[in-house]
Amino acid sequence: DAMVIQNPRYQVTQFGKPVTLSCSQTLNHNVMYWYQQKSSQAPKLLFHYYDKDFNNEADTPDNFQSRRPNTSFCFLDIRSPGLGDAAMYLCATSSGHSYEQYFGPGTRLTVT
């Protein structure tokens, strides 16, 4: 009964090689979020989509982009990954009328 699904769970990419992480949801929630969580740190919001409206956090590097082709799917694109981008990337969803965010299991990204 997975509700927020992230694929892959583990991703290895090379320095500078573009990588895409994916998130899908079966909750029909209209808001989807991407968080970055570095080792032993708190999750930090990168951006979110409210329906089709993209909302970028002010301190999110330009290297990070996102796409939401439909309600169910959201992608995180890292154009030129650096060693400092190695982290767990967490996708979350919420209904616009609810203050509860539901998280996926995360994708752990390694940059070599």
Binding site for other proteins (CB under 8 A): 4, 6, 31, 33, 40-45, 48, 50, 55, 57, 90, 92, 94, 99-106, 108
Minimum CB separation of residue 96 from other proteins in Å reads 9
- Comparing CB distances to other proteins, the nearer of 38 and 67 is 38
- The contacts of residue 58 (CB under 8 Å, 6+ apart) are none
Minimum CB separation of residue 3 from other proteins in Å reads 11
Minimum CB separation of residue 80 from other proteins in Å reads 26
- Comparing CB distances to other proteins, the nearer of 19 and 29 is 29
Rg (CA), the chain: 13
The β-bridge partners of 56 are 47
**Cα–Cα distance measured from residue 91 to residue 21, given in angstroms and rounded to the nearest whole number:** 10
- Comparing CB distances to other proteins, the nearer of 13 and 94 is 94
- Comparing CB distances to other proteins, the nearer of 7 and 80 is 7
**Cα–Cα distance measured from residue 48 to residue 89, given in angstroms and rounded to the nearest whole number:** 13
In 1-106, beta strands by DSSP E: 4-7, 10-13, 19-25, 31-37, 44-50, 53-56, 64-67, 73-78, 87-94, 102-103
Minimum CB separation of residue 101 from other proteins in Å reads 6
